[in-house]
Amino acid sequence: MSAVVDLDAAIGFVVAHGDAVDRARLSRLRTGAPVPVELLDAAEAGQAPGGGWPATLGSEVASVDATCFRLSELDDLGGLGRPAARHALDWLAARQLPDGGWDEDPALAGFAPEWATPGDPEARYYLTANVAFWLTVGGLDARAAGPLDHRVGGAYAGVLHGAAQALAGGLRPDGSWPSFLPAGWLSAAVLHAQQMYYESARIQAVLAERIPDMSPDDVAWLAATLRHVDVGEEQWLLVAARRRLAETQRSDGGWDSDDGPQFDVHTTLRAIRACRRTTPEAPGSGTSFVPPQPAALPSPPVVPSPRPAPASEVVPPLVPPVVPLPRPKPDGPTPPPESAPPERAAPTA
């Protein structure tokens, strides 16, 4: 078990096992190299006229969850400033509910995964955290119909303020949240960006307790998300996350995906994003990331993984119809594989 994350080995794994899109993502992460236009065009394909993306091929109903997934792909490719992404961000902002949250289109009720079930409060909390995260990340590059708002959140400052209030208002006294595990780190990122540091820290304390038992897939997602909003890499939650990634890195340089070997490259790219240097490397250089050695981690409050439920059992995530990558998983009694979604967070005694 290594004490450091070997970025050279991780990079080699992606180069050896990734496709053209994976290698383009890697190149951009390492050096900021521009991605070929044809790859960006392919990632934007299928967008509905209103701005969102459908969850399944051939559907005319745009999905909030699927649109967030597409934005994550475009972000990796440096495409959030392009017209397609700006249109999608505006579409998401316009769908905000009066209470500051988001819900999936009722027309998708028959086949939406658990974490995007229309009308379900746990799914609404997760979707609110996910949408608010992407509006946070894309807000400074987006240009909505009106002038750019220079408050925190850029073009979507007002929308994000309402979302942050909804997320903070849903926290339990112990800092846990009524949703799936990923909703925790997505909410922590949104609240941090909104300068609601106390509320974000409460969530991070709960996540810190879960780190030792979290899968490398979840840890990479958590760390990459927080780094995306400039949470300092010296923060104890991120130090613990890097330590966990160092413990779980395989000898071939990659990490296991919760969704099977075909997604190991995706998980490895997330881990590289989580551990990479703040400034891009010079082309061709590689290095191992040595986690800082802080004093003992503080003992934080307690707990969660993608969605609201008891914080002990972890169920493998279900991959939605058209989205090729994993989704959140619930915390609670383990259901059959075919219906296994994100894990939930439970209140502590």
Mean pLDDT of the chain: 82
Residues 336, 239 contacting (CB under 8 angstroms): no
Q: Which two tokens stand for residue 298?
A: 């503080």
Q: What is the pLDDT of residue 279?
A: 54
Alpha helices in the chain (DSSP H): 7-17, 20-31, 37-44, 64-76, 83-94, 121-139, 157-169, 181-193, 197-210, 216-228, 236-248, 264-275
Question: Residue 219 pLDDT more than 70?
Answer: yes
Burial class (CB within 10 angstroms; exposed 0-12, middle 13-18, buried 19+) of 134? buried
Q: What is the pLDDT of residue 306?
A: 41
Strand pairing report for 62-63 and 53-54: antiparallel
pLDDT band at 277 (very low <50, low <70, confident <90, very high): confident
CA distances from 208 to 164, 222, 304, 311 (A): 21, 11, 9, 13
Lowest mean pLDDT among 161-165, 260-264, 305-309: 305-309
Question: Residue 343 pLDDT more than 90?
Answer: no
* DSSP classification of residue 54: E
Q: Which two tokens stand for residue 111?
A: 């086949």
**Per-residue model confidence as pLDDT tens digits over 166-214:** 999 999 999 999 999 999 999 999 999 999 999 999 999 999 999 999 9
Tallying the residues shown for the chain, one arrives at 349
* CATH 1.10.760 describes domain 7-339: no
Helix axes 121-139, 64-76, angle to 10 degrees: 30
The amino acid at 304: P
Q: Which residue reads 């658990």 in tokens?
A: 114
Question: Residue 315 pLDDT more than 90?
Answer: no
Give the integer Cα–Cα distance in Å for 158 and 165: 11
Q: What is the pLDDT of residue 155?
A: 74
**Per-residue model confidence as pLDDT tens digits over 43-61:** 999 999 999 999 888 888 9
* DSSP classification of residue 53: E
- Portion of the chain with pLDDT greater than 70, in percent: 74
Global confidence as pTM: 0.78
Which residues in 227-239 are b (16+ Cβ under 10 Å) and which e? bbbebebebbbbb
Question: Residue 301 pLDDT more than 60?
Answer: no
Q: What share of the chain is helix, strand, coil (3-state, %, to 5)?
A: 50, 5, 50
pLDDT band at 319 (very low <50, low <70, confident <90, very high): very low
Q: What is the pLDDT of residue 278?
A: 62
Give the integer Cα–Cα distance in Å for 35 and 180: 33
Give the integer Cα–Cα distance in Å for 218 and 328: 9
Q: What is the pLDDT of residue 70?
A: 95
**Per-residue model confidence as pLDDT tens digits over 130-150:** 999 999 999 865 444 444 455
Q: What is the pLDDT of residue 157?
A: 87
| Residues in a beta bridge with 5 | 289
- Among 111, 170, 164, 110, residue whose Cα is nearest residue 139: 164
Give the integer Cα–Cα distance in Å for 325 and 263: 7
- Region 156-163: mean pLDDT is 92
CA 256 centroid distance within chain: 17
**133 vs 293, higher pLDDT:** 133
Residues 53, 43 contacting (CB under 8 angstroms): no
Give the integer Cα–Cα distance in Å for 325 and 318: 9
- Region 223-233: mean pLDDT is 94
- Among 175, 222, 201, residue whose Cα is nearest residue 347: 175
